[in-house]
Structure 1
Amino acid sequence: MIEIQVNGLVKSFEVGQNVLDGLTFQIDQGERVGLLGKNGAGKTTLFKILTGELECDEGQVTIGQGRRLGLISQIPVYPADYTVENVLRSAFSRLHKLAEEMEALTARMAAGESDSALLRRYGVLSEKFEVFGGYDTDVAVNKIAGGLSISQEMRSQLFDSLSGGEKTRVNLGRLILEDTDILLLDEPTNHLDLHATEWLEDYIRSFRGTVVAISHDRYFLDRTVTRIIEVLDGKAEFYSGNYSFYAVEKERRFQERMKQYQKEQAKIEQLEKAAEQLRLWAFQGMDKTYRRAISMEKRIERMRTTSKPTKARKMDARFSTAEFHGDEVLSLRSLSKSYGDKHLFDGINLKVEGGERIALIGDNGTGKSTLIKMIVGELYPDDGRIRQGPQVRLAYLPQIIRFDHPDWNLVENMMAAKKGLSAQSARNRLAAYDFRGEDVFKPVSVLSGGEQSRLRLCMLMDDEINFLILDEPTNHLDIASREWIEEAVEAYDGTLLFVSHDRYFINRFATRIWELADGTITDYTCGFAQYRQLKAQEAVERAEPSKAVKERTERPQRGNKAQQAARRQLTICERDIAKIEARITELDAAMEAAACDYEKLHELLQEKERVQRELDELYERWESLSEEAEG
């Protein structure tokens, strides 16, 4: 059964420049389709035409009869007093209408009406209410909210108070709860953390309807779609596989077209030489050869059917790396940060050495961007110290990019950022980042998010740096731009710290993982693949208690009263040891902070010696209690 039929679609926003130029394709029921194309190719425009938000200039769009269609890039306007819970439950408007009619019928029957038609209608409505999940709405809302990391606290907030990313998540949850037949996803992973992205992938795989997804997340496409439609020059090209298949097949088709073009050009060149010779003979008096030359030239024109295949021009700019002499690039000591009652993290102690490539990951709202801003000096910690190495030269690409002069054009902003740079040199540098022609005279305020990221990188890459910090560097970038920044990062040999939810980017570059969760950072000195294996193993261990724990549960320890008392005292002793060790760590940090204050340092040293004596006594007691507990 055909779900979406598009024939000869044409749409333009400027005279003579068609964004969509005869686009034609068909999507059948139950298909999972990835819609690809560079930024500006017309993918979002196509979605808006499918949903009726935009009208096409020419062509026809047909949606399967009675099919319910939902688009997650649209965030409807709700009443000002609507909470997140209200928005989620607005997905059940169809059920609410059924419930209201059932209540009205119940009231009429209670009043004494006994018409058989009334009873039949109530039976039909009751059956529909059950089929549509009317009795399980609470379970459904809790399941979707849990999967998309919509906490109970967020569910009580006003929808208008949420960030753009949070609104996208809630709207996605509402659409899923609506149980639409056709799900249109426009960059769904841009505002989702790893946990929510993987949950969405699992949901799509089990979804019974049709899915069409615009995405530049290669892992997401590989795990969710089975067919690719690429929008190229306003038309559609088709690939029967996921993203990995598309990447290989697209290169194969390019090489095949190039061979065909070269073969055709060689034949044309051969015929052109022959036609030229025939014309020369005709000039020398051989009249018959003239007609043959004309005939051959017509044949040559008919052969010119294959245009030379082209690839998108690659950006070849690279980061300029400054030399770094030393070991320590960055150290974090006893770092803490809170916002009112919201406690982000506490007691963070970490060190970064030269040449490391660290991925900072964690769920949305855990404080990743806050920590990055503290490192670059935009925010200050509540407690603790951040220290950079003396020869560190840092560059930072924020998640939300702002320019000092948003109304200036690209050339003017480049010249303001680089003192002494001429207008022509600025244009040459911008051209290396794919800003050409009249585009360089646009105000930066009208650039897309991806274009603004590219412009900021253009400014960063001219500075000599040895510590690069990136906050969601691939957000809003199309696949070609992502591959470019990946090549630039690959060539960069300094220290790298980045926040990202792009699993392809993390897997390619991270040699160390910082996982921010539950107010602390767990340091994994391994790549992303090994980190995932460790997390999977931890999940198995949590789900299946160890054999030793089971044995202790099933066979309680036996012993005399003295042994049992010793075991209780041993537990208390271990708790006291942990407290004393934590106090010694705090004193060490305080002594380092007071290195230039002799009186304070002497006072701290005396306290540490006293605490150390207490710890030694506790160790002796622990050994004695251990022997008693073992009998």
Structure 2
Amino acid sequence: MIEIQVNNLVKSFEVGHNVLDGVTFQIDQGQRVGLLGKNGAGKSTLFKILIGELDCDEGTVTISPGHRMGLISQIPVYPEGYTVDDVLRSAFGRLHALTAEMEELAGRMAAGETDPAILKRYGSLSERFEVFGGYDTDVAISKVANGLSISDDMRGRLFDQLSGGEKTRVNLGRLILEDTDILLLDEPTNHLDLHATEWLEAYIQKFRGTVVAISHDRYFLDRSVNRVIEIENGKAEFYSGNYSFYAVEKERRYQERMKQYEKEQAKIAQLEKSAEQLRMWAFQGMDKTYRRAISMERRIERMRTTAKPTKARKMDARFTAAEFHGDEVLGIRNLSKAYGEKPLFEGISLKVEGGERIALIGDNGTGKSTLIKMIADEVYPDSGRIRLGPQVKLAYLPQIIHFDHPDWNLVENMMAAKRGISAQSARNRLAAYDFRGEDVLKPVSVLSGGEQSRLRLCMLMDDEINFLILDEPTNHLDIASREWIEEAVEAYDGTLLFVSHDRYFINRFATRIWEVANGTITDYPMGFAQYRQVKAQEEAEKAETTKPVKEKTVTEKPVRGDRAQQAARRQLTICEREIAKAEERVGALDAEMEANACDYEKLNALVADKDAAQAELDALYLRWEELSEAAGEA
């Protein structure tokens, strides 16, 4: 069944440039699709057209009738005073409407109305209420909140007071609770920690509907999608697999197109040489060869149909590393920090040696960025000491980029950061980071988050450093930019400390893991893959120790008691058999009542039968207690 059908979609925001230029595709029910493309390719624009927030210039969009669609990046406006818990509960709007109608019908029946249609409608609503999880809303909310790291404290806060990332996370939880048919995810992992990202991946794998995800998280794409649609130059290209398949297949197609192009160019060059020879002969008096030359040149023009395949231009820039002589790059002694009554760290002591690459990981709100800022001397600890080695030259890329002159353009900011650099040198430097043409004359305030990170890196990489600190360096970057910064970090041979939720980045660079949790930092002197194995082993051991230990039963010969006790034991066995039969009878009546919920007369008779069966079961329970005490087994 086709879930989404897009035909010849065209959309432009400026004359002569179509962001989407004839995009056509279909998505079938239950598919998991990754929507890829560089920043600005039109992916978010396509999402907005799908949900009706934007109109297309040409083309059509068809959504399967009756199927509901939810977009993560679209955060609704909620009434003033709405808490996070209120927002999560707003996902059950359908249930609230069902509850209101059920209460109305129950009131009418209590008032004496006996119309069979009322009971039939009530039974239908009850069934739908149960199917939609009406009796388990609190459990569902708790599961989703725990999975997305939405704490009980956060659930009580006002939604309007949350950060943008927190709002996105709460809205993701609301849409999951709504159980929409088509889930549109626009960079869902940007504001999720590792725990929440893995929970979302597990949810998507079990989700029965259709998922379309814009993401630059390669691990997430590998685990969550089985098809890729790439938007490039306004067109759509299709790949039947996850991200790893896409990466290999894209390169294979490029090489194939390049071979075809080179083959055609060689043939064209051969024909051009022949045409030139024919023209020369015609000039020397062989008139018949002129027509042949003209015909051959027309053939050459018809062959010029294959454009030369292109790849995105790679940024060619590297960190300039300063030499480091010594052992200790960073020393942390008895560090403590708290915000108000909330302690972040207590008594932390760590040491970093030259050349180490350390990943600082942990859930959101555990204090990772605070620790980074204390090391970078932007935040002061409450107690303890942080000491850098005497020859350490530190550079810091924060998660949120600030510029001293946001209204200045890129060239002016570069010249201000690098005293004595000329405008042309600044332009050349920016060009190496893919800022070209009129882009360098834009105010930095209008740049996207990824572009601002790239500009700040451009400024950092010109300095000689030997201790690099990165806070979420790949956030907001498209895949090409992530690969570029990974190549730059790979070539950098100084000491690296970074905060990241990008598992690909962590796995590639970390030689040591600092895990932040419960006010302390646990040091794992190993790479990310080995760290995950250790954590899995720890979880397995923890689960094993929490299992209830079954006591070994020793078979003993029964001790003969008096005749009254022996008789009571025999009666107790008979009573237990009768209880089992009575319980089965009550269960069967419950099932029969559900099957006849719309038959008023039959339901009344079944209710009477169940009441009698329940009374008999209650009497048997009392009898069992008396016999158990008489048998000496109470």
Task: Judge same fold: TM > 0.5, yes or no.
Answer: yes
Deviations 1:55-112 (A, max 9, x none): 1111100111111100001111111210111000000000000000000111111111
Residue identity opposite 2:361 in structure 1: I
2:188 corresponds in structure 1 to 188
| 1:12 aligned partner | 12
| Aligned-partner Cα distance in 1 for 2:196–2:372 | 22
Partner of 1:411: 411
Aligned AA (2:338): S
Please name the residue that 2:353 is paired with.
Answer: 353
Q: Distance in 2 between matches of 1:117 and 1:33?
A: 45
1:325-351: CA deviation from partner (whole Å, max 9, x where unpaired): 100000111101111111111010000
Unaligned 5+ runs, structure 1: 556-631
The offset of 1:217, in angstroms, is 0.3
Aligned residue type for 1:117: A
Question: Which residue type is aligned with residue 529 of structure 1?
Answer: A
Q: 1:466-513, CA deviations, whole angstroms, 9 ceiling, x for partnerless residues? A: 000000000000000000000000000000000000000000000000
Task: Please give the TM-score of this superposition, normalised by the length of structure 2.
Answer: 0.86
Residue of structure 2 equivalent to 1:228: 228
1:533-548 matches, cutoff 5 A = 533-545=533-545
Report what 2:331 is aligned to.
331
Is 1:85–2:94 an aligned residue pair? no
1:522, distance to aligned residue in structure 2 (A): 0.3
Q: Does 2:104 match 1:104?
A: yes
State the partner residue of 1:254.
Answer: 254
Q: Which residue of 2 aligns with 1:525?
A: 525
- 3-state SS of 2:190 partner: coil
AA at the equivalent of 1:245: F
Separation in structure 2 between the aligned mates of residue 249 and residue 427 of structure 1, nearest angstrom: 36
Higher mean alpha-carbon deviation, 105-114 vs 43-52, is at 105-114
What is the alpha-carbon distance in structure 1 between the residues aligned to residue 273 and residue 251 of structure 2? 33
**SS of the counterpart of 2:135?**
coil
Q: % of aligned pairs identical?
A: 84
Amino acid at match of 1:267: K
2:227 partner letter: R
Deviation at 1:250, TM superposition (A): 0.5
1:26-175 equivalence runs, <5 A: 26-175=26-175
AA in 2 matched with 1:27: I
- Aligned-residue Cα RMSD (Å) equals 1.2
Whether 1:401 and 2:434 are equivalent positions in the alignment is no
**AA matched with 1:302:** R
Secondary structure of the 1:180 match is coil
Whole-angstrom distance in 1 between the partners of 2:49 and 2:408: 33
Give, in whole Å, the separation in 2 of the partners of 1:356 and 1:43.
38
Counterpart amino acid of residue 170 in structure 1: V
Partner residue, 1:608 = none
Matched, 1:319 2:319: yes
Match of 1:223, SS?
helix
Corresponding position of 1:458: 458
Distance, in Å, in 2 between the alignment partners of 1:185 and 1:125 is: 32
Does the residue aligned with 1:420 lie in a helix, a strand or coil?
coil
1:432 is the counterpart of 2:432: yes
Give secondary structure in 2 for the equivalent of 1:545. Answer: helix
> Which amino acid is the alignment partner of residue 63 of structure 1?
I
Residue type at the aligned position of 1:250: K
**Counterparts in 2 of 1:297-312, with a 5 A limit?**
297-312=297-312
**Paired residue for 2:590?**
none
CA distance in 2, matches of 1:61, 1:40: 21
Aligned residue for 2:236, secondary structure, equals strand
**Whole-angstrom distance in 2 between the partners of 1:209 and 1:304:** 45
| TM superposition shift of 1:546 | 9.4
Q: Residue 336 of structure 2 aligns to a residue in which SS?
A: strand
For the residues of structure 2 that align with 1:34 and 1:546, how far apart are their CA atoms? 40
Name the aligned partner's letter for residue 373 of structure 1. Answer: K
Deviations, residues 287-342 of structure 1 (Å, cap 9, x unaligned): 11111111111111111111110101100100000011100000111101111111
Give the equivalent residue in structure 2 for 1:385.
385
Structure 2 distance, partners of 1:138, 1:264, is: 66
2:6 match: secondary structure: strand
Partner-residue secondary structure (3-state), 2:113: coil
Distance 2:163 2:286 in 1: 82
- Runs of at least 5 residues in structure 2 that lack an aligned partner in the other structure: 554-634
Report the Cα distance in structure 2 between the residues aligned to 1:221 and 1:106, rounded to whole angstroms.
Answer: 49
Residue 554 of structure 1 deviates from its aligned partner by: 6.7
Task: Tell me the distance in 2 between the aligned counterparts of 1:199 and 1:244.
Answer: 21
Counterpart amino acid of residue 83 in structure 1: T
Residue identity matched to 2:280: L
Could you list the per-position Cα deviations for residues 504-532 of structure 1 after superposition, in whole angstroms to 9, with x for gaps in the alignment? 00000000000000110000000000000
Structure 1: how far apart are the matches of 2:469 and 2:391? Answer: 16
Q: Counterpart amino acid of 1:213?
A: A
Q: 1:545, CA displacement in angstroms?
A: 2.2
| Deviating more after overlay: 283-292 vs 451-460 | 283-292
How big is the shift at 1:441?
0.2
1-side partners of 2:330 and 2:422: how far apart?
36
C-alpha distance in structure 1 between counterparts of 2:552 and 2:49, whole Å: 64
Matched length: 553
